[in-house]
């Protein structure tokens, strides 16, 4: 009897896991992570290969990736850090613009729904008035 209970628990666990893994939110999250990783690579390439070289030239031929400070045997690569900060700022700005656009679309949809409900309420009010007049 105990053997059967263990098997049933395993089956229930697998069924629960399958339901969890196949929920829309989990799949959407996975797709978002993959796309976000690819987007991060694009931004990193943009910063490293397009943005930083002209900035380095403007600052007197500085190559940010080679900027470092040596203290004894340790090397502090602050140039790579600066480049990573620029990557982050660009990605954060792009995400900000995306969220702002999504919020604007949501707001427009909510306003349209509110307007439709208001019109519906007015129609219902008019229909009730007509009904009341017809009863008289």
Distance CA 111, CA 130 (A): 29
Quick one: pLDDT band at residue 62, thresholds 50, 70, 90? confident
Mean pLDDT of the chain: 82
Say yes or no to pLDDT of 3 above 60: no
Residue pLDDT, tens place only, 88-119: 888 888 888 888 998 898 888 888 888 878 88
Contact 48, 63 (CB under 8 A): no
Predicted structure pTM score:
0.52
Contact 44, 65 (CB under 8 A): no
Distance CA 37, CA 34 (A): 5
Q: How many other CB atoms sit within 10 Å of the CB of residue 87?
A: 19
Q: Residue 7 has what pLDDT?
A: 67
Contact 53, 47 (CB under 8 A): no
Quick one: pLDDT band at residue 4, thresholds 50, 70, 90? low
Distance CA 7, CA 15 (A): 12
Say yes or no to pLDDT of 67 above 70: yes
Quick one: pLDDT band at residue 40, thresholds 50, 70, 90? confident
Ramachandran quadrant class, 75 (left: phi over 0; alpha: psi -120 to 50; beta: rest)? beta
Domains annotated for the chain, with CATH where assigned, are 2-135 (1.10.1200)
Contact 41, 93 (CB under 8 A): no
Residue pLDDT, tens place only, 6-23: 667 777 888 888 877 777
């Amino acid at each position: 009897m105990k053997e059967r209970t263990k098997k049933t628990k395993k089956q229930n666990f697998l069924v629960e896991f399958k339901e969890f893994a196949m929920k829309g939110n989990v799949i959407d999250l996975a797709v978002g992570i993959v796309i976000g990783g690819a987007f991060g690579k694009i931004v990193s390439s943009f910063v490293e290969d397009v943005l930083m070289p002209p900035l380095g030239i403007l600052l007197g031929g500085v190559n940010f990736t080679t900027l470092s400070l040596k203290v004894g045997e340790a090397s502090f690569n602050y140039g790579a850090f600066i480049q990573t900060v620029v990557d982050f700022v660009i990605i954060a700005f792009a995400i900000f613009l995306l969220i702002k656009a999504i919020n604007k679309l949501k707001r427009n949809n909510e306003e349209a729904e509110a307007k439709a409900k208001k019109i519906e309420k007015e129609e219902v009010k008019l229909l009730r008035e007509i009904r009341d007049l017809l009863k008289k």
